[in-house]
Amino acid sequence: KAGVTQTPRYLIKTRGQQVTLSCSPISGHRSVSWYQQTPGQGLQFLFEYFSETQRNKGNFPGRFSGRQFSNSRSEMNVSTLELGDSALYLCASSPEAGVNEQYFGPGTRLTVT
C-alpha cells in the first residue's frame, strides 16, 4: 500500500502571499490531520478532517484553513503568509478519527521570505 503523499515537498513564498498544500492519505483511510513543526514549538496540531468534516481544530489563527474531499484527499491553505509560518507541514492519516496510530507523510517544507 502506498504511504501518505504530500505535495509539494518544498516551497518558497513571500510574505503576504497565500499557499495551498496537498495531502493524499493511505488508501482506505478516512481521517486526515495536519500538523506544523518548527524547531521552537515542536509538533503542533492544526486540524483534523474525517469524512469531509472538520472534527477538531488546533490553536491557530483563521489564516490557516483546510478541507477534505470525498476521496479523503485533503488540502490546507495559509493566507497572508508571515515569516513565522516557515515550518515543516505534516499530514497524517488513519483509518479512524483521532486514533493513536497515525501514518505521517514526508511533509512540505515551507519557507517564507
Partner 1 sequence: LAKTTQPISMDSYEGQEVNITCSHNNIATNDYITWYQQFPSQGPRFIIQGYKTKVTNEVASLFIPADRKSSTLSLPRVSLSDTAVYYCLVGPMYNFNKFYFGSGTKLNVKP
The residues of the shown chain that bind partner 1, judged by CB under 8 A, are: 4, 33, 42-43, 45, 48, 55-56, 58, 88, 90-92, 94, 96-107, 109
Provide the minimum distance between the beta carbon of 70 and partner 1 in the complex, in angstroms, as a whole number.
22
Min dist. Cβ of residue 113 to partner 1 (A): 19
Strand partners, 50: 31, 53
Dist. CA 104–CA 82, nearest whole Å: 25
When the beta carbons of 33 and 68 are compared against partner 1, the nearer one is 33
With respect to partner 1, which residue has the nearer C-beta, 78 or 92? 92
At residue 83, the 3 state secondary structure works out as: helix
List 20's β-bridge partners, or say none.
77
Give the number of other CB atoms < 10 A from CB of residue 24. 20
